Structure 1
Amino acid sequence: MRTFLTAMFIIAISGKQLYAQQVKSEILSPGATSTIFTDDVVKQINLQYPIRRVYNYQDQSGTYYLVLCESIDEIRKDDTLHQKINAVNLKKDGNSFTKTWELKDFINSNNASDGQELSIWFWTRFCEVKDLDGDGNIDPLVIYGSSIGNGYDDGRIKIILNYKGQKIAVRHQNSTMDEGRHIQVDEAFYALPQSIQSHIRTLMRTLSATGFALYPHGYEKAMAEQKLLIR
Protein backbone atom coordinates (compact mmCIF):
# COMPACT_ATOMS: atom_id res chain seq x y z
CA MET A 1 0.00 0.00 0.00
CA ARG A 2 2.80 2.38 0.92
CA THR A 3 4.52 1.62 -2.39
CA PHE A 4 1.28 2.34 -4.28
CA LEU A 5 0.77 5.68 -2.51
CA THR A 6 4.36 6.66 -3.18
CA ALA A 7 3.91 5.86 -6.87
CA MET A 8 0.71 7.91 -7.03
CA PHE A 9 2.47 10.83 -5.35
CA ILE A 10 5.29 10.67 -7.89
CA ILE A 11 2.77 10.58 -10.76
CA ALA A 12 0.94 13.62 -9.34
CA ILE A 13 4.19 15.57 -8.96
CA SER A 14 5.28 14.58 -12.48
CA GLY A 15 1.92 15.74 -13.86
CA LYS A 16 2.31 19.15 -12.22
CA GLN A 17 5.84 19.46 -13.59
CA LEU A 18 4.57 18.59 -17.07
CA TYR A 19 1.85 21.24 -16.81
CA ALA A 20 4.44 23.79 -15.67
CA GLN A 21 6.54 23.01 -18.74
CA GLN A 22 3.54 23.42 -21.04
CA VAL A 23 2.42 26.76 -19.59
CA LYS A 24 4.33 29.86 -20.68
CA SER A 25 3.46 33.54 -20.95
CA GLU A 26 5.22 36.78 -21.83
CA ILE A 27 4.52 40.42 -22.57
CA LEU A 28 5.36 41.20 -26.18
CA SER A 29 7.76 44.04 -26.86
CA PRO A 30 6.49 46.93 -29.02
CA GLY A 31 8.63 45.61 -31.88
CA ALA A 32 7.23 42.10 -31.67
CA THR A 33 3.71 43.50 -31.36
CA SER A 34 4.01 45.56 -34.55
CA THR A 35 5.59 42.60 -36.39
CA ILE A 36 2.76 40.21 -35.49
CA PHE A 37 -0.13 42.66 -35.53
CA THR A 38 0.40 44.34 -38.87
CA ASP A 39 -2.19 46.68 -40.36
CA ASP A 40 -3.67 43.76 -42.29
CA VAL A 41 -3.98 41.61 -39.17
CA VAL A 42 -5.48 44.47 -37.16
CA LYS A 43 -8.07 44.94 -39.90
CA GLN A 44 -8.75 41.21 -40.12
CA ILE A 45 -9.50 40.85 -36.40
CA ASN A 46 -11.23 44.25 -36.28
CA LEU A 47 -9.21 46.01 -33.59
CA GLN A 48 -10.75 49.48 -33.40
CA TYR A 49 -8.40 51.12 -30.87
CA PRO A 50 -4.63 51.37 -30.48
CA ILE A 51 -2.94 48.37 -28.85
CA ARG A 52 -1.80 49.05 -25.29
CA ARG A 53 -0.29 45.65 -24.49
CA VAL A 54 -0.17 42.10 -25.84
CA TYR A 55 0.37 38.95 -23.80
CA ASN A 56 1.50 35.83 -25.65
CA TYR A 57 0.79 32.61 -23.79
CA GLN A 58 0.88 28.89 -24.38
CA ASP A 59 -0.84 26.12 -22.47
CA GLN A 60 -1.95 22.57 -23.14
CA SER A 61 -4.83 23.85 -25.30
CA GLY A 62 -2.74 25.94 -27.71
CA THR A 63 -1.03 29.27 -28.33
CA TYR A 64 -2.85 32.54 -27.63
CA TYR A 65 -2.53 36.30 -27.70
CA LEU A 66 -4.40 38.53 -25.25
CA VAL A 67 -4.59 41.99 -26.81
CA LEU A 68 -5.50 45.03 -24.69
CA CYS A 69 -6.65 48.09 -26.64
CA GLU A 70 -7.58 51.61 -25.52
CA SER A 71 -8.96 54.54 -27.48
CA ILE A 72 -6.90 57.73 -27.30
CA ASP A 73 -9.33 60.62 -26.97
CA GLU A 74 -7.35 63.41 -25.35
CA ILE A 75 -3.68 63.93 -24.61
CA ARG A 76 -2.93 66.21 -21.70
CA LYS A 77 0.39 67.40 -20.34
CA ASP A 78 0.33 64.85 -17.52
CA ASP A 79 -2.10 62.20 -18.80
CA THR A 80 -3.77 60.49 -21.74
CA LEU A 81 -7.52 60.00 -21.53
CA HIS A 82 -9.33 56.94 -22.87
CA GLN A 83 -13.09 56.70 -23.39
CA LYS A 84 -13.28 53.08 -24.62
CA ILE A 85 -11.38 49.86 -24.04
CA ASN A 86 -11.41 46.43 -25.65
CA ALA A 87 -9.67 43.18 -24.71
CA VAL A 88 -9.52 40.43 -27.34
CA ASN A 89 -8.24 36.91 -26.78
CA LEU A 90 -6.98 35.21 -29.94
CA LYS A 91 -5.97 31.60 -30.54
CA LYS A 92 -3.20 31.03 -33.07
CA ASP A 93 -4.58 28.83 -35.81
CA GLY A 94 -1.87 28.21 -38.40
CA ASN A 95 -1.22 31.56 -40.04
CA SER A 96 -4.42 33.14 -38.76
CA PHE A 97 -6.21 33.91 -35.51
CA THR A 98 -9.50 32.76 -34.04
CA LYS A 99 -11.20 35.02 -31.51
CA THR A 100 -12.06 33.03 -28.37
CA TRP A 101 -13.46 35.84 -26.22
CA GLU A 102 -13.46 39.59 -25.77
CA LEU A 103 -14.67 42.31 -23.46
CA LYS A 104 -15.58 45.95 -24.07
CA ASP A 105 -16.29 48.89 -21.80
CA PHE A 106 -16.48 52.67 -21.93
CA ILE A 107 -16.68 55.70 -19.66
CA ASN A 108 -19.93 56.21 -17.80
CA SER A 109 -21.45 59.64 -18.38
CA ASN A 110 -23.49 59.53 -15.19
CA ASN A 111 -21.34 57.63 -12.71
CA ALA A 112 -21.13 59.66 -9.51
CA SER A 113 -21.94 62.95 -7.84
CA ASP A 114 -18.57 64.27 -8.98
CA GLY A 115 -19.67 64.06 -12.61
CA GLN A 116 -18.78 62.20 -15.77
CA GLU A 117 -15.90 59.76 -15.82
CA LEU A 118 -12.82 61.18 -17.51
CA SER A 119 -10.97 58.04 -18.48
CA ILE A 120 -11.04 54.24 -18.40
CA TRP A 121 -7.97 52.04 -18.90
CA PHE A 122 -6.38 48.67 -18.22
CA TRP A 123 -4.46 48.50 -14.96
CA THR A 124 -1.64 46.43 -16.42
CA ARG A 125 0.25 46.61 -13.13
CA PHE A 126 -2.30 44.13 -11.76
CA CYS A 127 -3.29 42.09 -14.84
CA GLU A 128 -2.09 38.48 -14.79
CA VAL A 129 -1.78 35.76 -17.39
CA LYS A 130 -1.09 32.65 -15.32
CA ASP A 131 -2.38 29.16 -14.59
CA LEU A 132 -4.11 29.99 -11.32
CA ASP A 133 -5.35 26.50 -10.43
CA GLY A 134 -2.54 24.30 -11.76
CA ASP A 135 -4.62 22.45 -14.36
CA GLY A 136 -2.32 23.25 -17.29
CA ASN A 137 -4.48 26.03 -18.75
CA ILE A 138 -3.94 29.78 -18.43
CA ASP A 139 -6.62 31.74 -16.56
CA PRO A 140 -6.31 35.38 -17.77
CA LEU A 141 -7.12 37.93 -15.07
CA VAL A 142 -7.84 41.40 -16.46
CA ILE A 143 -8.20 44.44 -14.21
CA TYR A 144 -9.27 47.88 -15.34
CA GLY A 145 -10.81 50.98 -13.86
CA SER A 146 -11.96 54.53 -14.38
CA SER A 147 -11.29 57.97 -12.96
CA ILE A 148 -13.35 61.10 -12.42
CA GLY A 149 -12.36 64.63 -11.41
CA ASN A 150 -11.04 63.45 -8.05
CA GLY A 151 -8.97 60.62 -9.48
CA TYR A 152 -9.78 57.08 -8.34
CA ASP A 153 -11.93 58.11 -5.38
CA ASP A 154 -15.25 57.92 -7.26
CA GLY A 155 -14.20 55.66 -10.12
CA ARG A 156 -15.03 52.06 -10.92
CA ILE A 157 -12.91 48.92 -10.76
CA LYS A 158 -13.56 45.68 -12.62
CA ILE A 159 -11.77 42.39 -12.04
CA ILE A 160 -12.53 39.99 -14.90
CA LEU A 161 -11.37 36.37 -14.82
CA ASN A 162 -11.71 34.15 -17.87
CA TYR A 163 -12.01 30.65 -16.46
CA LYS A 164 -12.72 27.65 -18.67
CA GLY A 165 -14.43 29.84 -21.26
CA GLN A 166 -16.55 31.80 -18.76
CA LYS A 167 -16.02 35.45 -17.84
CA ILE A 168 -16.45 35.90 -14.08
CA ALA A 169 -16.41 39.39 -12.61
CA VAL A 170 -16.07 41.31 -9.39
CA ARG A 171 -17.25 44.90 -9.97
CA HIS A 172 -16.59 47.68 -7.50
CA GLN A 173 -17.77 51.28 -7.26
CA ASN A 174 -15.46 53.57 -5.29
CA SER A 175 -16.91 56.54 -3.45
CA THR A 176 -15.77 59.13 -0.94
CA MET A 177 -19.17 58.57 0.73
CA ASP A 178 -19.74 55.34 2.66
CA GLU A 179 -23.19 54.85 1.15
CA GLY A 180 -21.82 55.23 -2.38
CA ARG A 181 -19.51 52.22 -2.25
CA HIS A 182 -20.66 48.81 -3.40
CA ILE A 183 -19.29 45.55 -4.78
CA GLN A 184 -21.11 43.23 -7.17
CA VAL A 185 -19.85 39.65 -7.24
CA ASP A 186 -20.89 37.22 -9.96
CA GLU A 187 -22.49 34.12 -8.45
CA ALA A 188 -20.03 31.97 -10.42
CA PHE A 189 -17.17 33.48 -8.40
CA TYR A 190 -18.13 31.41 -5.37
CA ALA A 191 -18.01 28.21 -7.44
CA LEU A 192 -14.38 28.80 -8.39
CA PRO A 193 -11.64 26.71 -6.76
CA GLN A 194 -10.72 28.13 -3.36
CA SER A 195 -7.17 28.83 -4.55
CA ILE A 196 -8.50 31.21 -7.23
CA GLN A 197 -10.98 32.87 -4.87
CA SER A 198 -8.16 33.47 -2.39
CA HIS A 199 -5.95 34.84 -5.17
CA ILE A 200 -8.58 37.39 -6.19
CA ARG A 201 -9.30 38.36 -2.58
CA THR A 202 -5.57 38.98 -2.11
CA LEU A 203 -5.61 41.15 -5.23
CA MET A 204 -8.54 43.12 -3.81
CA ARG A 205 -6.61 43.74 -0.59
CA THR A 206 -3.64 44.90 -2.65
CA LEU A 207 -5.84 47.37 -4.56
CA SER A 208 -7.02 48.75 -1.22
CA ALA A 209 -3.53 48.91 0.33
CA THR A 210 -2.15 50.78 -2.69
CA GLY A 211 -4.94 53.37 -2.64
CA PHE A 212 -6.87 52.28 -5.72
CA ALA A 213 -9.93 50.88 -3.94
CA LEU A 214 -12.25 52.13 -1.17
CA TYR A 215 -14.41 49.16 -0.19
CA PRO A 216 -17.55 48.99 1.95
CA HIS A 217 -16.95 48.25 5.62
CA GLY A 218 -16.95 44.51 6.32
CA TYR A 219 -16.73 43.46 2.69
CA GLU A 220 -14.44 40.49 3.42
CA LYS A 221 -16.95 39.02 5.87
CA ALA A 222 -19.71 39.55 3.30
CA MET A 223 -17.69 37.72 0.65
CA ALA A 224 -17.04 34.88 3.10
CA GLU A 225 -20.84 34.66 3.37
CA GLN A 226 -21.06 34.59 -0.45
CA LYS A 227 -23.01 37.82 -0.77
CA LEU A 228 -23.57 39.00 -4.33
CA LEU A 229 -24.19 42.69 -3.55
CA ILE A 230 -22.09 44.25 -0.81
CA ARG A 231 -22.76 47.75 0.50
Structure 2
Amino acid sequence: MKNYILFLVLSFSSFGFSQKVESYRLTKEEIKEQELDQVSDFPVYKAFTCADKSGVYNLLLCENQKTISKKDTLNTKIQAICTMADHGGFLEKWRINDLLESTEPKETNIWFWTKYCTTKDLDGDGYIDPVIVYGTRNENDEIRRVKIITVYKNKKYAIRAVECDLDVCRSFKKDANWNLLPQKIKTYVDHLVVKLRKEQNLLLKDG
Protein backbone atom coordinates (compact mmCIF):
# COMPACT_ATOMS: atom_id res chain seq x y z
CA MET A 1 0.00 0.00 0.00
CA LYS A 2 2.91 2.36 0.80
CA ASN A 3 4.42 1.77 -2.63
CA TYR A 4 1.05 2.55 -4.21
CA ILE A 5 0.75 5.85 -2.30
CA LEU A 6 4.27 6.78 -3.41
CA PHE A 7 3.28 5.98 -6.99
CA LEU A 8 0.27 8.27 -6.63
CA VAL A 9 2.35 11.15 -5.28
CA LEU A 10 4.97 10.85 -8.01
CA SER A 11 2.37 10.40 -10.72
CA PHE A 12 0.32 13.35 -9.53
CA SER A 13 3.39 15.60 -9.59
CA SER A 14 4.35 14.41 -13.06
CA PHE A 15 0.88 14.54 -14.58
CA GLY A 16 -0.01 17.76 -12.80
CA PHE A 17 3.01 19.45 -14.36
CA SER A 18 2.54 18.13 -17.88
CA GLN A 19 -1.27 17.88 -17.73
CA LYS A 20 -0.90 14.59 -19.56
CA VAL A 21 -3.90 12.29 -19.66
CA GLU A 22 -3.22 8.55 -19.45
CA SER A 23 -4.83 5.31 -18.36
CA TYR A 24 -3.75 1.69 -18.27
CA ARG A 25 -5.26 -1.61 -17.22
CA LEU A 26 -4.11 -3.17 -13.96
CA THR A 27 -3.15 -6.84 -13.66
CA LYS A 28 -4.79 -9.13 -11.10
CA GLU A 29 -1.57 -8.96 -9.07
CA GLU A 30 -1.61 -5.15 -9.06
CA ILE A 31 -5.28 -5.12 -8.03
CA LYS A 32 -4.50 -7.34 -5.05
CA GLU A 33 -1.27 -5.52 -4.15
CA GLN A 34 -3.05 -2.15 -4.09
CA GLU A 35 -5.95 -3.69 -2.09
CA LEU A 36 -8.47 -2.58 -4.71
CA ASP A 37 -10.25 -5.91 -4.31
CA GLN A 38 -11.39 -4.59 -0.90
CA VAL A 39 -13.30 -1.62 -2.36
CA SER A 40 -16.31 -3.53 -3.73
CA ASP A 41 -18.41 -6.38 -2.37
CA PHE A 42 -18.00 -8.02 -5.80
CA PRO A 43 -14.93 -9.44 -7.57
CA VAL A 44 -13.07 -6.87 -9.68
CA TYR A 45 -13.56 -7.88 -13.30
CA LYS A 46 -11.24 -5.22 -14.71
CA ALA A 47 -9.48 -2.20 -13.21
CA PHE A 48 -7.77 0.83 -14.71
CA THR A 49 -5.45 3.46 -13.26
CA CYS A 50 -6.18 6.88 -14.75
CA ALA A 51 -4.24 10.13 -14.49
CA ASP A 52 -5.40 13.59 -15.55
CA LYS A 53 -5.50 17.16 -14.23
CA SER A 54 -7.57 16.06 -11.23
CA GLY A 55 -4.94 13.53 -10.06
CA VAL A 56 -4.49 9.78 -10.18
CA TYR A 57 -7.41 7.46 -9.51
CA ASN A 58 -8.75 3.99 -10.29
CA LEU A 59 -11.79 2.82 -12.21
CA LEU A 60 -13.04 -0.58 -11.05
CA LEU A 61 -15.52 -2.69 -13.00
CA CYS A 62 -16.99 -5.27 -10.62
CA GLU A 63 -19.34 -8.19 -11.30
CA ASN A 64 -20.75 -10.48 -8.63
CA GLN A 65 -20.18 -13.68 -10.67
CA LYS A 66 -23.24 -15.42 -9.24
CA THR A 67 -22.91 -18.52 -11.43
CA ILE A 68 -19.51 -19.69 -12.63
CA SER A 69 -19.10 -22.63 -14.99
CA LYS A 70 -16.67 -23.80 -17.66
CA LYS A 71 -19.01 -22.46 -20.31
CA ASP A 72 -19.96 -19.06 -18.90
CA THR A 73 -20.01 -16.70 -15.92
CA LEU A 74 -23.37 -15.16 -15.10
CA ASN A 75 -23.83 -12.01 -13.04
CA THR A 76 -26.91 -10.68 -11.28
CA LYS A 77 -25.33 -7.38 -10.13
CA ILE A 78 -22.57 -5.03 -11.27
CA GLN A 79 -20.74 -1.99 -9.90
CA ALA A 80 -18.45 0.57 -11.51
CA ILE A 81 -16.50 2.50 -8.88
CA CYS A 82 -14.14 5.44 -9.32
CA THR A 83 -11.86 5.79 -6.30
CA MET A 84 -8.70 7.58 -5.16
CA ALA A 85 -6.21 6.59 -2.46
CA ASP A 86 -6.81 8.70 0.66
CA HIS A 87 -4.92 8.50 3.98
CA GLY A 88 -4.39 4.76 3.73
CA GLY A 89 -7.93 4.16 2.52
CA PHE A 90 -10.02 5.04 -0.52
CA LEU A 91 -12.09 8.10 -1.39
CA GLU A 92 -14.96 7.35 -3.74
CA LYS A 93 -15.59 9.87 -6.54
CA TRP A 94 -18.63 8.18 -8.07
CA ARG A 95 -20.33 4.83 -8.43
CA ILE A 96 -22.70 3.03 -10.84
CA ASN A 97 -24.90 0.19 -9.56
CA ASP A 98 -27.22 -2.03 -11.57
CA LEU A 99 -28.83 -5.47 -11.41
CA LEU A 100 -31.09 -7.84 -13.29
CA GLU A 101 -34.69 -6.75 -13.81
CA SER A 102 -37.82 -8.87 -13.48
CA THR A 103 -38.86 -9.34 -17.09
CA GLU A 104 -40.44 -11.85 -19.40
CA PRO A 105 -38.41 -13.58 -20.77
CA LYS A 106 -36.32 -13.51 -17.60
CA GLU A 107 -33.02 -11.63 -17.56
CA THR A 108 -30.20 -14.03 -16.69
CA ASN A 109 -26.96 -12.05 -17.06
CA ILE A 110 -25.65 -8.49 -16.73
CA TRP A 111 -22.08 -7.68 -17.77
CA PHE A 112 -19.70 -4.85 -18.67
CA TRP A 113 -19.13 -4.50 -22.40
CA THR A 114 -15.50 -3.49 -21.97
CA LYS A 115 -14.66 -3.46 -25.70
CA TYR A 116 -16.96 -0.42 -25.95
CA CYS A 117 -15.88 1.28 -22.71
CA THR A 118 -13.27 4.05 -22.77
CA THR A 119 -11.12 6.07 -20.38
CA LYS A 120 -10.05 8.87 -22.73
CA ASP A 121 -10.20 12.64 -22.66
CA LEU A 122 -12.92 13.03 -25.28
CA ASP A 123 -13.20 16.82 -25.36
CA GLY A 124 -9.54 17.76 -24.88
CA ASP A 125 -9.93 19.62 -21.57
CA GLY A 126 -7.30 17.60 -19.71
CA TYR A 127 -9.78 15.40 -17.81
CA ILE A 128 -10.70 11.81 -18.61
CA ASP A 129 -14.35 11.30 -19.64
CA PRO A 130 -15.19 7.65 -18.85
CA VAL A 131 -17.81 5.96 -20.99
CA ILE A 132 -19.18 2.81 -19.35
CA VAL A 133 -21.18 0.37 -21.48
CA TYR A 134 -22.99 -2.68 -20.16
CA GLY A 135 -25.85 -4.92 -21.16
CA THR A 136 -28.18 -7.71 -20.12
CA ARG A 137 -29.27 -10.95 -21.75
CA ASN A 138 -32.44 -12.92 -21.20
CA GLU A 139 -32.96 -16.67 -20.92
CA ASN A 140 -33.29 -16.89 -24.71
CA ASP A 141 -29.71 -15.53 -24.96
CA GLU A 142 -31.03 -12.28 -26.48
CA ILE A 143 -29.67 -8.86 -25.56
CA ARG A 144 -32.43 -7.04 -23.72
CA ARG A 145 -31.00 -3.87 -22.18
CA VAL A 146 -28.03 -1.70 -23.14
CA LYS A 147 -26.80 1.23 -21.05
CA ILE A 148 -24.18 3.78 -22.05
CA ILE A 149 -23.17 6.00 -19.14
CA THR A 150 -20.83 8.94 -19.73
CA VAL A 151 -19.19 10.51 -16.67
CA TYR A 152 -18.32 14.18 -17.17
CA LYS A 153 -16.94 16.17 -14.22
CA ASN A 154 -18.13 13.37 -11.90
CA LYS A 155 -21.74 13.65 -13.13
CA LYS A 156 -23.44 10.81 -14.99
CA TYR A 157 -25.24 11.15 -18.34
CA ALA A 158 -27.00 7.98 -19.45
CA ILE A 159 -28.51 6.44 -22.54
CA ARG A 160 -30.93 3.62 -21.69
CA ALA A 161 -32.11 1.24 -24.39
CA VAL A 162 -34.40 -1.78 -24.35
CA GLU A 163 -34.30 -4.19 -27.29
CA CYS A 164 -37.54 -5.93 -28.23
CA ASP A 165 -39.13 -7.46 -31.34
CA LEU A 166 -42.30 -5.45 -30.69
CA ASP A 167 -42.41 -1.67 -31.12
CA VAL A 168 -44.39 -1.21 -27.93
CA CYS A 169 -41.66 -2.63 -25.67
CA ARG A 170 -38.62 -1.19 -27.47
CA SER A 171 -37.09 2.09 -26.24
CA PHE A 172 -34.06 4.36 -26.58
CA LYS A 173 -33.84 7.27 -24.12
CA LYS A 174 -31.20 9.87 -23.34
CA ASP A 175 -31.20 11.55 -19.92
CA ALA A 176 -32.82 14.98 -19.74
CA ASN A 177 -29.40 16.52 -19.00
CA TRP A 178 -27.79 14.96 -22.09
CA ASN A 179 -27.42 18.24 -24.00
CA LEU A 180 -25.30 19.68 -21.18
CA LEU A 181 -22.41 17.52 -22.40
CA PRO A 182 -19.77 19.10 -24.67
CA GLN A 183 -20.46 18.51 -28.34
CA LYS A 184 -17.28 16.44 -28.84
CA ILE A 185 -18.44 13.97 -26.19
CA LYS A 186 -21.97 13.76 -27.61
CA THR A 187 -20.53 13.13 -31.07
CA TYR A 188 -18.28 10.36 -29.75
CA VAL A 189 -21.18 8.61 -28.01
CA ASP A 190 -23.43 9.00 -31.07
CA HIS A 191 -20.76 7.26 -33.15
CA LEU A 192 -20.50 4.57 -30.48
CA VAL A 193 -24.25 3.93 -30.76
CA VAL A 194 -23.88 3.49 -34.54
CA LYS A 195 -20.99 1.07 -33.94
CA LEU A 196 -23.06 -0.98 -31.47
CA ARG A 197 -25.92 -1.19 -33.96
CA LYS A 198 -23.61 -2.41 -36.70
CA GLU A 199 -21.40 -4.82 -34.76
CA GLN A 200 -24.03 -6.31 -32.44
CA ASN A 201 -27.03 -6.20 -34.78
CA LEU A 202 -29.01 -4.01 -32.36
CA LEU A 203 -31.83 -1.61 -33.17
CA LEU A 204 -31.19 0.92 -30.36
CA LYS A 205 -34.18 3.06 -31.21
CA ASP A 206 -37.59 4.08 -29.91
CA GLY A 207 -40.57 2.04 -31.06
Compute the TM-score of the two structures, normalised by the length of structure 2: 0.86
Partner of 1:128: 118
Structure 1, gaps ≥5 residues long: 1-17, 217-229
Partner of 1:224: none
In 2, the alpha carbon distance for the partners of 1:56 and 1:32 equals 10
Task: Name the SS for the 2:114 alignment partner.
Answer: coil
Q: Which amino acid aligns with 1:54?
A: A
Is this contact kept in 2: 1:174–1:182, CA < 8 A? yes
Is this contact kept in 1: 2:77–2:99, CA < 8 A? yes
In 2, the alpha carbon distance for the partners of 1:163 and 1:20 equals 21
In 2, the alpha carbon distance for the partners of 1:205 and 1:180 equals 21
Query: What is the alpha-carbon root mean square deviation over aligned residues?
Result: 1.9
In 1, the alpha carbon distance for the partners of 2:87 and 2:194 equals 41
**2:72 aligned with 1:79:** yes
Aligned residue-pair number: 192
Equivalent residue in structure 1 for 2:49, among 31, 48, 56: 56
Equivalent residue in structure 1 for 2:102, among 109, 128, 138: 109
Structure 2, gaps ≥5 residues long: 1-15
Equivalent residue in structure 2 for 1:152, among 142, 155, 158: 142
After TM superposition, the structure 1 stretch with the greater mean CA deviation from structure 2, 189-198 or 137-146, is 189-198
Task: Name the SS for the 1:68 alignment partner.
Answer: strand
Task: Show the 5 A alignment for 1:1-231.
Answer: 22-37=20-35, 42=38, 45=39, 47-93=40-86, 95-110=88-103, 113=104, 115-153=105-143, 155-211=144-200, 213-216=202-205, 230-231=206-207
Is this contact kept in 1: 2:193–2:204, CA < 8 A? no
Is this contact kept in 1: 2:19–2:53, CA < 8 A? no
In 2, the alpha carbon distance for the partners of 1:38 and 1:91 equals 10
The CA deviation at 1:212 is 5.3
Q: Which amino acid aligns with 2:27?
A: S
Compute the TM-score of the two structures, normalised by the length of structure 1: 0.77
In 1, the alpha carbon distance for the partners of 2:56 and 2:135 equals 28
